[in-house]
Chains A and B, each alone.
Chain A
């Protein structure tokens, strides 16, 4: 069963738009939530990560919003560019170190 549910499956936005990807989890033992970016033919790469003691984290044009009570977190890509077109995965892990990944969201940013 999918312990981390990710939506939408795919997303198309125009350049400058703000794609938003949402993830939800049930396991309250999760305490670390990384996001990965994957380009075709490449392995995933860590984009940004958050722990539940903060509600928001920004790194460049990427922002994670975290709602601990709702057990939801989301990725916003500000001022999106065609080079941001990729598949994005949210993930979660607990103190046992087992990583659970969302199903992935394919983002396409059109020029």
Chain B
């Protein structure tokens, strides 16, 4: 158990809908990362937050947005969902010392999103 929690574990929704995925980092970690893992695209880095502020941005679509709250939990919002958004979404956390890119990231168990 990495100490990172993600909810829900599974999510099934329809095209065009909007969903919110939630992540609670390990106690004391200030950085949160979001990743998408699909069969055809592999593991893709989406975005990183550090202590509430966006730190790095990867291949995140404009239909997707994220935020990190004062209690350090994070949410990934996916809107106007398409079939191709079906994937495993992982959250990872690192820190507490600056959460720099050399810090080990601890991954949560993931949320499996299925768009029908």
Chain A contacts to B: CB under 8 angstroms: 2, 32, 41-46, 49, 89, 91, 93, 95-104
Contacts and interface: CB of A to CB of B under 8 A. Distances in A.
Contacts, number: 51
Contacts of A93: 101
Contacts of B110: 43
B56 A102 contact: no
Most buried by B among A32, A46, A99: A99
Give 10 closest A-B pairs by Cβ, nearest first.
Answer: A43-B107, A97-B56, A99-B45, A101-B43, A97-B101, A103-B42, A46-B104, A93-B101, A98-B58, A43-B90
B108 interface: yes
28 contacts: A2-B42, A41-B109, A42-B107, A42-B109, A43-B2, A43-B4, A43-B107, A43-B108, A43-B109, A43-B110, A44-B43, A44-B107, A45-B2, A45-B106, A45-B107, A46-B104, A49-B102, A91-B43, A95-B101, A97-B48, A97-B56, A97-B101, A98-B45, A98-B56, A99-B58, A103-B42, A104-B42, A104-B43
A81 to B, nearest CB: 22
Secondary structure type dominating chain A contacts = loop
Nearest to A100: B45
A89 B44 CA distance: 11
Interface residues of B, number: 24
A102 B37 CA distance: 12
Nearest to A94: B101
A45 B42 CA distance: 15
A43 B102 contact: no
B105 interface: yes
B76 interface: no
A4 B100 CA distance: 21
Given A43-B2, A43-B92, A101 B44 contact: yes
Contacts of B105: 46
A51 to B, nearest CB: 8
B27 to A, nearest CB: 17
Contacts of B92: 43
B109 A96 contact: no
A3 to B, nearest CB: 10
